[in-house]
Structure formats: structure tokens, C-alpha cells
Chains A and B, each alone.
Chain A
Amino acid sequence: MTAPAAGSSGIERIAGRSRAATGWLLLAISVLWLASVARAPEDSVQGIIQKILYVHPPLAFAAYLGFFSTALGGAVFLWRSDEAWDRLARSSAEVGVLFCTLVIVTGPIWARGAWGRWWSWDPRLTVTLLLWFVYLAYLLLRGFTEGSERAARFAAVYGIVGIAVIPLNYFAIELAGGRAIHPENLSRGSLGVGMGLPFLLGTVVTLVAFVHLLFRRIEVEGLRSRLAERTAAERARGEERGAWGT
């Protein structure tokens, strides 16, 4: 296990120190979650396909969290000009897109079993796809403009504006009126007996998985940044020696 390097930011130090703890916690809760899903009763209307509910909405919550964290990191970066916050924003966007991708994959698997088709241009599905594209574009922007502070500032603003899609996504069914075919958002008492625990555990597992993945991604981003700094310093020293030699 590598200790967090000196000079790393507070969140990078926390990420480095909590590696084993979040990893083991994730493994332990995942086992409990899968056992509770296996033991959960079958839904009287949908049948066994309803069990996808214990993974699909929790993945969406983790995706939302990733995009909120992108906006937060971007806002603090704009305010304090501290690159550690930009690294948090970038890492959060990548983890958020991963979870959003899983939402887009698990949703159609449920739809194929429940509706008999993989996709429908339903308001919730369409806005989820839009949300995925918005943050995929954020990642592409960061990938193509590596190391540019101006691009980082633009991406921060873009990441903040992008979260406007989240409430649109969450309330898409209500906003569409009767035209939506996607099931309504869960509310108190909408789950049957024995279905609350697997759903709760599913939510906890995805949130712990989000934190674990985000911390691992932040570590990588911090290492990349330190490596770039050292390479630049070495190059500067080499140029200085070259200048003295001539």
C-alpha cells in the first residue's frame, strides 16, 4: 500500500488512507445486499423482473451524486483556483458517467422483460440519455484539453450548468403528465413487504461504491498531476543546463 504523498490535497490524503476501509465495507455490504435480493419476495404484478429495481434506481442516485460533486468541485475551483477541486470535479464526472452508463444498461434490460422492448422514447429515458451525453461531453472536453487552465474553468462552468438536467430527469414523469410509461418515482409505502431492505441495501452499496471509486479515481488524478509537475521541473532543469552549456 502506497502512502499518500506529501503535498497532496486534503481529499487525496483521505482517499489514500481510506482505501482498505471503503474496499472491505463495499465487499461486506455487497454480500448482504445480494443475499437480501435473492431472499426478496417476487412482485405479484411484474414477477421476478421487478428485482432489477434493487439496482437500477440506486445506480441513478449514484450518477446524480457524481454530477452534483462535479458541479461542487467546479464551483469551488472557480472560487479558490485550487487544482485539487478541479481534480475532484473531473474524477466525479468520470465516476458519475460510469454509473449513468449502468443506469442506461440496466433500464433497457428491465424494459425488455417488462415491456417486451429494449427502448422507448419515454421522457425519463430520453432525459437520462441527455444527462449521459452532457457529462460524456464534459469528459471529452477534459480529455482533449489536458492541462489547460482556461479549459478547466470552462469545464467548471459547463459542469455547473449541466446539473440543471438532474431535476428535469427526476421529475420527467410528473412533467410529462400521462404520456410517460416509465414507472413513477418511489414514495413511502410504494414497496411491498420484504422489498424495503434490499432496496435500502442497494442504495447503500451504490453510495459506498461511488465513494470508493471516486477516492480511487482522485488518487490516480493526484498521481498524474504530481508526475506532470516533476516532468515539467526536470525539463526546466535540463533546459537550464543546456542554456549554461552553450
Chain B
Amino acid sequence: MGYVIAAYVVTIAVVGIYLLHLARTRRTLTRELDRK
């Protein structure tokens, strides 16, 4: 059971962290573009 949970948790966590990273990068770039 532990291996199954690990596989799903790792997948969801990695996709979630990548999404957060993209959202943060988009906000930063939008702010920089607005300033220019």
C-alpha cells in the first residue's frame, strides 16, 4: 500500500509544484512587462 500511495503522492506533488512555479514565473514576467 505504501508504494502505491508514494507513486500517486509523488506524481501529484511534482505536477503541483511545477504548476506553482509556472504561475509564479508568469506573475513575475507580467509585472516586469507592465513596468516597461
Contact = CB atoms under 8 A, between A and B. Distances in A.
Q: Are A and B a genuine interacting pair, yes or no?
A: yes
Interface of A: 2, 5, 30, 34, 37, 48-49, 51-52, 55-56, 59, 98, 101-102, 105-106, 109-110, 112-113, 209, 212-213, 216-217, 219-220, 223-224, 226-227, 230-231, 234
B18 A213 contact: yes
A55 B7 contact: yes
B29 A220 contact: yes
Interface string B12-33: 1011001100110110011011
Chain B contact residues: over half helix, strand or loop, or mixed? helix
Given A220-B29, A223-B26, A230 B3 contact: no
B10 A49 contact: no
27 contacts: A2-B26, A34-B8, A48-B1, A49-B3, A49-B4, A52-B3, A52-B7, A55-B8, A55-B11, A56-B7, A98-B18, A101-B14, A102-B14, A105-B7, A105-B11, A109-B3, A110-B3, A112-B3, A212-B19, A216-B22, A216-B26, A220-B26, A220-B29, A223-B26, A227-B29, A227-B36, A231-B36
Contacts of A113: 3-4
A109 B18 contact: no
Contacts of A37: 8
Contacts of B30: 2, 223
A220 B18 CA distance: 12
A230 B22 contact: no
Contacts of A109: 3, 6-7, 10
A52 B4 contact: yes
Contacts of A30: 12
Contact of B7 (A106, A217, A220): A106
A163 B3 CA distance: 31
Contacts of A227: 29, 32-33, 36
B34 to A, nearest CB: 9
Nearest to B23: A216
B7 A223 contact: no
Given A106-B10, A224-B29, 6 more contacts: A34-B8, A105-B11, A212-B19, A219-B22, A223-B29, A230-B36
